[in-house]
Amino acid sequence: MTVIWEPQLDSTSLQWQEKAKVLTDQYFAPAADAIDRDQRYPIEHLTPLLESGVSGMFIPTDYGGGGSTLTALVSAVETIAQGCGSTAAIMAALSLGAFPVLLGGSEPHKQALLGGLARKGEAVNFALSERNAGSDAASIEAVAVPEKNGWRIRGEKCWLGNGGHSEHFIVFARTGEPGSRNNITAFWVPRNTPGAVVDFYEDKMGIRGTTTTNLKLDVWVPEVNVLGEKGRGLRLALSTLNVGRVVVAAQALGIALCSYQEAARFANSRKTFGRHIIEHQGIGFMLANAATRLSAARMMLYETAKAYDESQDISTLGAMTKLFASEVAHDVCDDAMQILGGRGYVKPNDVERCYRDQRITELYEGTSEIQRLVIARSIQRESQSNAG
């Protein structure tokens, strides 16, 4: 029995988790420090991810993927994150780009985009955020207007995770007046479309092995490139984020588990005043709190993934999971740094890297404040319904 709670996975999920562990031990973890130091996209990781099927594990088998459950996906992402937060973020970005196609794409969209991802590793990117429309996604300024049996899309997208190595973009743009209902539509924009320019790479605090970019657009796409229903793009984006938040929670917990394990090892080897420092309550209680909260967060993560796999609505539960997991991860990484002291503050060190990698999990796929807003609105609706 382990101190940290372990999920009881089915045989198929265990197989995916084991594949992820083998890849992490062989490729991802040994390269993590160098990738972070050089801020280099680990292109050499794409081949083992593709050949093992892990990069397309969540794609239905009809399109060449592994047909895995969300439970299996989060177990793989969590495992990879324990070795390399950047590679886990690449996996999270692959799934985030694919889910709007899964949820709203036509059969030709799925054959082209999901099939391309599963069989050839062609990444699809989720292009929603803008400089003036991050948390407030309904305020996007990119505009699409009808032109010659298609659409002219103009605007700029930012903070595109994996954007520098994506072959396709799912771009969300306004197709109605600002403030009107149902005024946003999703479009498939191939990277090689004239007028689509990836023009800026962010210099990031953490997950430095990912390529986070801008995308400038002055493009024409045919009518068949509309993804889902016209005017229903925001609903599609939010449905995608419901799933993406659960994957980010897995990433956060994997990073936190790495820090916790390193801190526990150090506390059992470092001595002060004639005793291992874990025997001092100040340190032992930190680790006890970390183990308890990590276990609780993992229980929530895997129950939420199970609920999704059973076709339940996870819009509120997913927000709770992402909020709790990311903030537990924050505290665990912070305490691990404190336990290691000066050794944890200098490079190269897993705890130092995890401390920086974790922070983004409280920001993307909706900040902690947005998660609280989602939860508060659910509480309000439930209270009003009960009062009625």
Active site residues: 365
Enumerate the β-bridge partners of residue 218.
Answer: 154
Read off the tokens for 197.
Answer: 């320019």
Between 233-269 and 350-359, two packed helices, what is the crossing angle to 10 degrees?
A: 160
The most distant pair of C-alpha atoms in the chain lies apart, rounded to whole Å, by 79
Distance, in Å, from the CA atom of 129 to the CA atom of 40, rounded to the nearest integer, reads 23
Distance, in Å, from the CA atom of 387 to the CA atom of 52, rounded to the nearest integer, reads 53
Distance, in Å, from the CA atom of 248 to the CA atom of 241, rounded to the nearest integer, reads 10
Q: How many CB atoms within 10 Å of residue 331?
A: 16
CA distances (Å), 320 to each of 45, 161, 223, 377, in order?
A: 32, 23, 38, 12
Helices (H), the chain: 11-23, 29-38, 46-52, 70-83, 85-104, 107-109, 115-120, 233-269, 281-309, 315-340, 342-345, 350-359, 368-387
3-state SS class at 40: coil
What count of residues does the chain have? 388
CB 166 within 8 A of CB 191: yes
Distance, in Å, from the CA atom of 166 to the CA atom of 91, rounded to the nearest integer, reads 12
Distance, in Å, from the CA atom of 124 to the CA atom of 225, rounded to the nearest integer, reads 14
| Start-to-end CA span in the chain (Å) | 48
